[in-house]
Amino acid sequence: MWPVLILALHLCLCAGYEGSGQYPYGDDEDFYSRRYKGTPWCAPIKAKHADVRCRTPRGEHYKNVMGTRCKIHCKRGYEVMSPEVVCMANKHWSANYACSEIRCPKLDMPANGGYKWAEDHYLPVHKMWSSGAPTCVDIDPPKIQCPTIKDKWAEPGKLTARVSWDTPEGMDTADGVLTESKDSTKCPTTVFDRAGNRGTCRFSVRVRVRRCSPLFPPDNGYMKCDSDKDNYGASCEFKCTGGFDLQGSAARVCQYGLTWSGTDTTCTPMNINVGVRSAAALLDQFYERGDC
């Protein structure tokens, strides 16, 4: 009777099952190594984006037996919470071995701009951006609408013209705030935006002169003209030398229709009156004569 009871008690004390956490001899690792030598214990390590190197306690074939130590080396741009894990008696690894992506702080959207991922971006290593916070700077010059004046006719008797135009309107492509130059009525006109970019309006006005056909002094006489001699509004006066009488117009004006007023001017030999009573009256007929 006694031998049977002793055998039953021995069997009860030795009861235990794999991975249950119950050991017949407490934490006797020698017993465990004799009983479970080479038996896979923890789940196999399958880490993405990482290289894993494991070392078992006694060189077992399986790399997940109890007591196995594994070193986790994450690839560039990834990090691991614990670089080394151990397969424990509870069939779990001692720490989380997953490699998580390294992320920099969230970028704030720059004022008047935005951002997008570059095609050739690389993953960070130190959780910080390569440079300071970006800013968007206005580099575009203001756009300015120039007047459409191209040609202007000269004023009568002048080679110049008075030209006026509306103040050129500028438009800024950024915030719409512009500062005009001191005198916006001059050419060129310049405007500035708040970033200091400059927009300039340059334009040319061609002054066109209306001209009559040129006049020439008559034979035995001479001509004196003002302005440019043959431009619209110019006037010419004619006189004859002594001994000749002026025939036609003594003065002519270039008109808007590009024709001269009056008639052609000529100097003809004068008729000498010899029946005068004094020498002074006779000589007076030979002085230069012209219409008043």
Q: Write the DSSP string, 10-34.
A: HHHHT---TTSS--TTTT-HHHHHH
Q: Residue 7: pLDDT above 80?
A: no
pLDDT interval class at 212 (50, 70, 90): very high
For the chain, percent of residues with pLDDT exceeding 70: 74
Q: Which range has highest mean pLDDT (33-37, 190-194, 250-254)? A: 250-254
The average pLDDT across 197-223 equals 91
Band of pLDDT at residue 285, cut at 50, 70 and 90 = low
Q: How many Å apart are CA 83 and CA 95, to the nearest integer?
A: 9
Please give the structure tokens belonging to residue 113: 């701009």
Q: Whole-angstrom Cα distance, residue 267 to residue 247?
A: 6
Q: Identify the weakest region by mean pLDDT among 25-34, 163-172, 180-189, 234-243.
A: 25-34
- CA–CA separation, 10 vs 16, rounded Å? 12
What confidence category does residue 220 fall into, taking pLDDT thresholds of 50, 70 and 90?
very high
Q: What pLDDT is recorded for position 1?
A: 40
**3-state class of 3 per DSSP?**
helix
Name the pLDDT band for 266 (thresholds 50, 70, 90).
very high
Say which residues have a Cβ less than 8 Å from residue 190's Cβ, sequence separation at least 6: 180, 181, 198, 199, 200, 201
Residues whose CB is less than 8 angstroms from the CB of residue 204 and which lie 6 or more positions away in sequence, other chains included:
150
User: CATH assignment of 13-101?
Assistant: 2.10.70.10
Task: Give the mean pLDDT of 151-161.
Answer: 91
What are the backbone dihedrals phi and psi of residue 269, each rounded to the nearest 5 degrees, phi first?
-60, 135
The DSSP output letter for 249 is -
- Averaged pLDDT score across all residues of the chain: 78
Summarised one tens digit per residue, pLDDT across range 90-131 is: 999 999 999 988 888 887 888 777 777 765 555 566 777 777
Q: Where are the domains of the chain?
A: 13-101, 143-208, 221-284
What mean pLDDT comes out for the span 157-186? Answer: 73
**Among 257, 225, 219, residue whose Cα is nearest residue 240:** 219
Residue of higher predicted confidence among 244 and 289 = 244
Q: pLDDT band for position 278 (50/70/90)?
A: confident
pLDDT at residue 11 is higher than 60: no
252 three-state secondary structure: strand
Predicted local confidence at residue 38, as pLDDT: 64
- pTM of the entire predicted model: 0.46
Q: How confident is the model at residue 32 (pLDDT cuts 50, 70, 90)?
A: very low
**Cα–chain center distance at 244:** 78
Would you place residue 205 in the very low, low, confident or very high pLDDT band (cuts 50, 70, 90)? confident
Point out the least confidently predicted range of 116-120, 143-147, 157-161.
116-120
Amino acid code (one letter) for 203 = F
Average pLDDT over residues 240-262: 93
Amino acid at 67: G
Same fold, 13-101 and 221-284: yes
Question: How high is the pLDDT of residue 85?
Answer: 94
CATH topology of domain 221-284: Complement Module; domain 1 (2.10.70)
